[in-house]
Structure 1
Amino acid sequence: MASLMIQGCGSDVGKSTLVAGLCRLFANRGLIVRPFKPQNMSNNAAVTSDGGEIGRAQALQALACRTPATVHMNPVLLKPQSDVGAQVIVRGRMAGAYKARDFQGLKP
């Protein structure tokens, strides 16, 4: 099983769009492709078929792969509520609203 990771130094520079294009390219070549972003900060959420929330970019990537979007593709979604706080969505379900300093204590 081969893996490919796309990394970048900034936000909003096109990584997710590039990945969606690569997902479609590889799917068109008959490969089984699954997008994954472990943690995403975005107010743009999409709903999976089982009712969970993931980042819209990961939902688009799943569509490009021709596979149903699942919460496993984006297990942690942070939805900003203020300059210092966010709703924390874990595996598609709201875990609570936290300030950034408190969120650090939730990590294993």
Structure 2
Amino acid sequence: MITCVLHYTIDPRQIDAFERFAREWIRLVGDHGGIHHGYFLPAEGASDRAEALFSFPSLAAYERYRARFGTDPEFIAADRIRDESGCVIRYERTFMRPLLPSD
């Protein structure tokens, strides 16, 4: 399993647009073989930070999902929310492998 951790700098004035953007990506990750662990939005402290985590069974599965960017109409529409609203100022993507509790 590989987990993608996204660190966002967001425009706090565009939090509603960011939530619409996030809900679309939660759905798209699930529709294309991944497990979305959620978006984590500002509650206290810095109001311009958000995080997201999602996993795929392998790097190859993630790469099949990534191949849809820029070509799949649903992926393009989800990115349009971000682009038109300006809700995301910057983001960084890191890949991690989870260490899960043992039974």
Same fold (TM over 0.5): no
**What is the TM-score normalised by the length of structure 2?**
0.32
Q: Which has the higher helix share?
A: 2
Q: Which has the higher strand share?
A: 2
Instruction: Tell which has more relative contact order, 1 or 2 (C-alpha 8 A, sep 6+).
Output: 2
**What is the TM-score normalised by the length of structure 1?**
0.31
